[in-house]
Structure 1
């Protein structure tokens, strides 16, 4: 299995946050690979079984899954939270919890992008192809809303625990103006985006095993108690933290889980 994360080249640093590659050459059985809330829209090339897809995902709050069988390649370009409008000319809230097929985008057809992604041999080749696409896209992009980007950066930097009143004062905006700004450019309300960022901070701590008790993860990330963390985790992944850890371990070991979570 290959799992890698890259920073974008400097020319794309204003619109791309990071690039993640997951490649598994041989899977035992059929898998549901979860796409958990990450507080960022994304462009994802996915290949498994006989099919491939190139999708644009908006902010995902509801748990989403990718069906995988035989093999799996996922190459995801995570955009800045306010990147959908400048790059694709759409309101961010129109794409929330949706995956949009990019095959019909004129630039994708002009470049023969998906066919070239399908024909690429290595993940590195696919990363370079998408970089070329995004550079072309940026050349005709509308000017993004820098205020929305700045606000999202502040919230993410505070792991979702930033006081909304402080943010309104910092931006010199009313609550209603801030709501409209986030709906159009980020796709979630300020509080909704904060909740995803808070979950992501807890998710990272849980994933690297940096805790003794689950309650430590809850308190470290601003949750009232362990039950509050579990409810948030179930909302964004469809699983409890314990179930997620068990399924991740099974996936990494290449052991298929039968329906109901038994081996």
Structure 2
């Protein structure tokens, strides 16, 4: 069975994180797989790390710098809590570089401490009730704790917005953040799981996808340059590298 992009199959809904979670999380989402013949799904790098509730357990997904293929049972439901940029390491107590590309049971990081969270979640057929339980439980672990790395959050925003044309990324960030190159790379790997150039590649591709969603039938070549690519060929190479398919095949 051919793999499909994750959000193009089943039911997917996302909303901003509630106030009690917002210091560490940006969004809460639910993905219910199709009830029959659920295909393998391709998870593309998106510069995020998620805390997920799946099959009665907590796991950590990401960060990714290559596409991942997952095979989930038909009808499976995943509830995800997306960390704010730079917040996962502080909340988890583990540098993001140590979980790069991972799909890890939270117990692998926390040991028996994870039971304190898991034991609060009671089985219920009501999905909305399950999400409320999860929000309340994770909120108890989040409120009053300072998980954010403000400097790395600022660096993320700068890269996401896009640098001026022909601007060398690392020297620009060094000046902007007042860091040596070695410190800059270490801080990025701790906060995001990889260095600034990889983050820039991932965010540039998502900038293109956002532009295309807004622009409809606009020329791919024009959107590629607007997103920060040298040309359309550059975009196609990056699309294949990050998703395994060309921009034309994306839905």
Per-residue deviation, 1:148: 1.7
Residues 1:167 and 2:173 are matched in the alignment: yes
Distance 1:30 1:159, change over 3 A: farther
Aligned equivalents of 2:229 and 2:57: distance in 1?
A: 37
Work out the number of aligned pairs and report it.
238
Q: Which residue of 2 aligns with 1:65?
A: 69
Q: CA deviation at 1:63?
A: 0.6
- Distance, in Å, in 1 between the alignment partners of 2:149 and 2:129 is 31
- Select 1:134's aligned residue among 133, 138, 142: 138
Distance 2:152 2:175 in 1: 14
Residue 230 of structure 2 corresponds to residue 224 of structure 1: yes
Shift of 1:227: 1.6
Aligned to 1:250: none
Q: Structure 1 unaligned segments of length 5 or more: list them.
A: 246-263
The 8 Å contact of residues 224 and 235 in structure 2, kept in 1 or not, is answered as yes
CA RMSD of aligned residues (A): 2.8
1:195 is paired with a residue whose SS is: helix
Deviation at 1:87, TM superposition (A): 0.8
Question: Partner residue of 1:258?
Answer: none
- Distance change >3 Å, CA 199–CA 11, structure 1 → 2: same
1:90 to partner: Cα distance:
0.5
Partner residue in 1 for 2:92: 88
1:239 aligns with 2:248: no
Unaligned runs of 5+ in 2: 1-9
3-state SS of the aligned residue for 1:11?
coil
Residue 2 of structure 1, aligned match among 8, 11, 17? 11
Deviation at 1:146, TM superposition (A): 2.2
